[in-house]
Amino acid sequence: MTGSEDIRPYTSGEHKSLQIERMFNQIAPTYDVLNHTLSLSIDKRWRAKGIDYLRPFSPRRILDVATGTGDLAIAMHRALSPRQIMGIDISEKMMERGRRKAARAGYSSQISFERQDCLSLPYADNTFDAVTSAFGVRNFEDIEKGIAEMYRVLKPGGHLMILELSHPRQFPVKQLYALYSNTIIPGIGQLFSGRKAAYRYLPASVRVVPQGQVMAEMLRRQGFGNVEARTFTFGICSLYTGEKTK
């Protein structure tokens, strides 16, 4: 456990995973519009950076964990043309939107969506050529256990790619980002979704998720080799990559 598991959307005694499921089901109708608006659409460039990491390996079968509305899965299919992408999430409402987006793009036969618990994946060991996650790891009930499951279902030689928001550390970006995330994001979230608690939780979860070398060392503890951590946009986004070397 890392401590980030203690940050939850609501004050009730429910498990974090149940609260996360409820929160994303509630904000699903406005999630895509707000996500791209609040990130000024830079999130699309961040996903492209993660896909660029995978490109040389030409993965044929990909598992996208915490797939949400499927933005990364759809972008990976366009860029990499894998045989299959399995997107999993605990929020059916988010995946409903993902299924519609995949269908509009003509990818329904290549991209599947399943409601699954990332801490107990139903897939056999050594199943996928790549496992990915974009902006979802901080929502895990137990981050280290989730990473262990990602490692288990990867084939030897397979690759992990995680994108996650991070907290800038340099002045003045640190101060400006704190103002933006603590004030503007909850305000806009409340205005457009009516769910202020969700848009208070999301910035709070970024502040406590393991970052940089702390996250990199977590990947190494679970067996990943060739681990790298890099940041984009003044440290607002981090890319973590690794390989199942055994």
3-state secondary structure of 2: coil
Enumerate domains of the chain plus CATH numbers. 31-166+209-243 (3.40.50.150)
Measure the CA–CA gap between 25 and 97, rounded to whole angstroms: 11
Q: Inter-axis angle of helices 143-153 and 212-221, to 10 degrees?
A: 50
Q: What is the pLDDT along the chain (246 residues), one digit of tens a residue?
A: 455 566 787 766 778 899 999 999 999 999 898 888 888 889 999 999 999 999 999 999 999 999 999 999 999 999 999 999 999 999 999 999 999 999 999 999 999 999 999 999 999 999 999 999 999 999 999 999 999 999 999 999 999 999 999 989 889 988 998 888 888 887 887 777 777 788 888 888 888 899 999 999 999 999 999 999 999 999 999 999 999 998
- Indicate the length of the chain as a whole number: 246
The token pair at 128 is 């996928």
Q: Tell me what pLDDT residue 231 has.
A: 97
Distances (CA, A) of 116 to 11, 69, 173: 24, 14, 37
Q: Tell me what pLDDT residue 185 has.
A: 81
* Contact criterion met (CB below 8 Å) for 77 and 64: no
With b for 16 or more beta-carbon neighbours within 10 A and e for fewer, the 60-80 pattern comes to eebbbbbbbbbbbbbbbbeeb
* Contact criterion met (CB below 8 Å) for 4 and 138: yes
3-state secondary structure of 230: strand
Residues paired with 89 in a beta bridge: 115
Q: Tell me what pLDDT residue 12 has.
A: 66
Q: Tell me what pLDDT residue 169 has.
A: 87
Kindly give, in sequence order, each residue whose CB lies less than 8 Å from that of residue 22, ignoring residues fewer than 6 positions away.
9, 10, 14
Q: Tell me what pLDDT residue 137 has.
A: 96
The token pair at 4 is 């980030």
Residues paired with 130 in a beta bridge: 62, 159
The residue type of 73 is: A
Kindly give, in sequence order, each residue whose CB lies less than 8 Å from that of residue 215, ignoring residues fewer than 6 positions away.
162, 164, 209, 229, 238, 240
* Contact criterion met (CB below 8 Å) for 140 and 146: yes
Q: Tell me what pLDDT residue 98 has.
A: 98
The token pair at 13 is 């005694």
Nearest to 238 by CA among 210, 199, 204, 202: 210
